[in-house]
Structure 1
């Protein structure tokens, strides 16, 4: 009987898979603060995001080869990109998973579209090192844009 229950549980998890939006992407990083996030993150197709603190409460970022759009198309190797910079903020309550918002202030001219401006904070496999990611498109299909330090 226990084996049948275990098999039923496995079958259920396989059929639901990533259709559960909460299971899509890396697990959340518990208790994240701005200080935990400073550094450079690398993503698909050469993208880079550097989060810095220039003193006081001002936190800035620099983006290189950043997706010029925010949909599933950014996963394609030939998706448009640009270089830019601005300020960022960590939006979360204590004990909640982190959410980063990017506000572009200087953006390479000629780039159109609305760029990826919101990232969730997750933890990498086997360690508590933060990584940044965005869930893209239909929540029933797990597509994730991921940046690692």
Structure 2
């Protein structure tokens, strides 16, 4: 009987561990708002100027060249906009262009990138839209995208340097 008790107890422990694991995997995915950094609602262009570093060496620098013209340069930027951008061997390119903050007051910050030049032969449209979020423990904003299925929490995040 003690052998049977161990087997049942062992199965119960395994089942409990599986339930806990599945709850932890789905907890962040059941609500898209819980996936990634919390949104930064009150944001202006002035808050965003600077250089951001992301996965696999990607860099994005947002600048103001005077007046209303805001430009960016990108290095090792994802050449696609799907879940493949999270892979270490994802195709990248370098480019530049203009950017805009396209949210209404009180809405989550959203940046759009318009590339002026880009290496030819790129596989598809690059990552061109980023959300603005709150960085952990400091006032620096982070930029991020949630590629792919919104029910699966995947985040491409760039931290301000």
Does the TM-score normalized on the shorter chain lie above 0.5?
yes
What is the aligned partner in structure 1 of residue 158 from structure 2?
Answer: 147
Instruction: Tell me if structure 2 keeps the 8 A contact 1:29–1:128.
Output: no
What is the aligned partner in structure 2 of residue 60 from structure 1?
Answer: 71
What is the aligned partner in structure 2 of residue 123 from structure 1?
Answer: 134
What is the aligned partner in structure 2 of residue 113 from structure 1?
Answer: 124
Return 5+ residue gaps in structure 1 as ranges: 1-10
How many residues matched? 138
The structure 2 residue matched to 1:37, chosen from 34, 48, 63, is 48
What CA deviation, in whole Å up to 9, does each residue of 1:92-145 have, x standing for no partner?
111221100000001123323110000000011112210000011111110000
What is the aligned partner in structure 1 of residue 7 from structure 2?
Answer: none
Partners of 1:115 and 1:19 in 2: CA distance: 27
> How high is the TM-score relative to the length of structure 1?
0.88
- In our comparison, the structure showing a higher alpha carbon Rg is 2
Return 5+ residue gaps in structure 2 as ranges: 1-19
Instruction: Tell me if structure 2 keeps the 8 A contact 1:29–1:130.
Output: yes
What CA deviation, in whole Å up to 9, does each residue of 1:76-104 have, x standing for no partner?
00000000000000011112211000000
What is the aligned partner in structure 2 of residue 17 from structure 1?
Answer: 28
> How high is the TM-score relative to the length of structure 2?
0.81
What is the aligned partner in structure 2 of residue 84 from structure 1?
Answer: 95
